[in-house]
Amino acid sequence: MNKLLRRYRLTSSNLLIRGITLGGKFIFIIFLAKHLTTDQLGEWGIFTTSIALSLYLIGLDFYTFSTRSLLEHPVAERGVMLRDQLLFYLLGYIILFPLLGLLFVFKLMPLQYLVFFYVILVLEHFAQESYRIFVVFSKPVVANVILFLRTGSWAYALVLLWMAGVDDVKYVKAAFFFWMGGGIAAMLTAVYFYGKLGLHIARKTPVNWKWIRQGLRISMMFFMATIAFKIIELADRYFIDHYQGKEEVGIYTFYANMANLIEIIGHTAVVIIFSPKLIEYFHTSNRHYRLTHAAFARNMVGFTMLAAVFLAITIVPIISFLHKDEFYQELPVFAVMCLSEMVFNFTLIFHYILYVRKRDRSIVWATIIAAVVNMALNFLLIPPYGIMGAALSTLASMMLILVFKIILSRDVPETRQIIYLKFIRQRMRRKG
């Protein structure tokens, strides 16, 4: 009984912290659009897009290998592995940081943001990897506190100052300073709790270069899929900036962040809860796996629809609050972007059918092909149709991924059950 109570409290704490974090991001997006000009919002969009893509470049998805490897070794050996992982990232910084400077050479971002870019990138990467490590060490509350400090705390602080009428913080650089403050708070918290893990690093233990090379080789496949997906998700901002200008990027960034709520809710309410069970039951109990996947699919559809309805109800009042007429003119773009996020959530139903069977190459190639199509469509559609062209390109790419994953998993019972679900319902009605 006490064990169940502790588990309930732990789950409730995690959901509460995640809910508060999500609320902070949602409110921040609205107030950011209200207090910045549309051009400034475009600069913010390019900056955050560059940070997001750079995070994956410097990390190379090495965590996909290291987290699994950490779990396979006793706690006494994990300190050395974390040291080697840190060394790998430091080498990545040395190699990739100069290359990332091309973002400023080609004037994708103003040179005045250079210091902010590198400092925020390092803080974000440290906090992101720390979040993953504490999850591996079964410290989900610590992980979610780090996540809140990294993404939610500073957003709430800035919004409160905006609401109080402090004009000195109503510009892009102020948001960067607060973002850095949240990153520093997350870093210090992570360092403190690292000290509580009881990790030991023998100074005489040499660096395990073989382990690093093995991790690099294994993680590269996942990295290619991740980068391909991020191209679909984010690269359109650069096309819009080139062909249409910062103002259009600003409008698109606002609507993209709002529509992203659908994906975040699906991940928080469904993926985090069901994915560990799907992996475990696939290897231990076919019956439990089938039942869990059916529940996963129902919940994903349900929460996706709820999130979409919530946005449909709230988006017009939110735009009215902003007092910016240019956002009204692009409401159809928002509808297309919401549809893209819904399709993405539905792809996860088939994604995990492939993932638990370790059909990683199928997932990778489906995503890479969709990314290539997305780049071509962005090039063709954004010049004549603006941000609607970008939204349609993303929707087409997400639909392509969905079709690919259905086809690639068509030989398994779960996919057939979903495809022919209407016939199952008709049969149930006849029996009733």
Tens-place pLDDT, residues 348-398 = 999 999 988 888 888 899 999 999 999 999 999 999 999 999 999 999 999
How far is residue 230 from each of residues 109, 117, 223, 379, 415, measured CA to CA in Å?
19, 19, 10, 17, 26
Distance of alpha carbon 258 from alpha carbon 254, whole angstroms = 6
**What is the span of the domain harbouring residue 21?**
1-220
The tokens 């290897």 sit on which residue? 283
Q: Which amino acid is at 67?
A: T
The tokens 């609320």 sit on which residue? 23
Cα torsion at 115, 116, 117, 122 (round to 10°)?
90
Identify the domain boundary among 220, 244, 276. 220
Count the Cβ atoms, other than its own, within 10 Å of residue 192: 10
Residues of the chain whose pLDDT is less than 70? 1-11, 202, 420-432
Identify the domain boundary among 190, 220, 250. 220
Is residue 225 domain-resident? no
Is residue 68 domain-resident? yes
Same-domain pairing of 205 and 282: no
Is residue 25 domain-resident? yes
Is residue 3 domain-resident? yes
Same-domain pairing of 412 and 313: yes
Same-domain pairing of 371 and 429: yes
Predicted pLDDT of residue 11? 62
Same-domain pairing of 292 and 145: no
Same-domain pairing of 239 and 207: no
The contacts of residue 268 (CB under 8 Å, 6+ apart) are: 18, 22
Predicted pLDDT of residue 205? 84
Stated pTM of the model: 0.88
Backbone CA torsion sign across 42, 156, 124, 258: negative
Is residue 47 domain-resident? yes
Predicted pLDDT of residue 181? 97
Backbone CA torsion sign across 359, 128, 17, 262: negative
Identify the domain boundary among 192, 220, 248. 220
Is residue 243 domain-resident? yes
Same-domain pairing of 265 and 166: no
The contacts of residue 133 (CB under 8 Å, 6+ apart) are: 67, 70, 82
Give the single-character DSSP code of 206: P
Same-domain pairing of 188 and 149: yes
Same-domain pairing of 155 and 38: yes
Under a CB-based contact definition with an 8 Å cutoff, are residues 38 and 326 in contact? yes
Same-domain pairing of 187 and 263: no
Is residue 215 domain-resident? yes
Encoding tokens for residue 326?
């240019």
Same-domain pairing of 269 and 376: yes
Count of the separate structural domains present in the chain: 2
Is residue 226 domain-resident? no
Angle made by CA atoms 283, 288, 291, in degrees to the nearest 5: 125
Same-domain pairing of 112 and 259: no
Same-domain pairing of 212 and 77: yes
The tokens 């510009």 sit on which residue? 171
Which residue, among 285, 244, 312, 289, has the nearest Cα to 45 in the 3D structure?
Answer: 244
- Helix, strand, or coil (residue 404): helix
Count the Cβ atoms, other than its own, within 10 Å of residue 138: 10
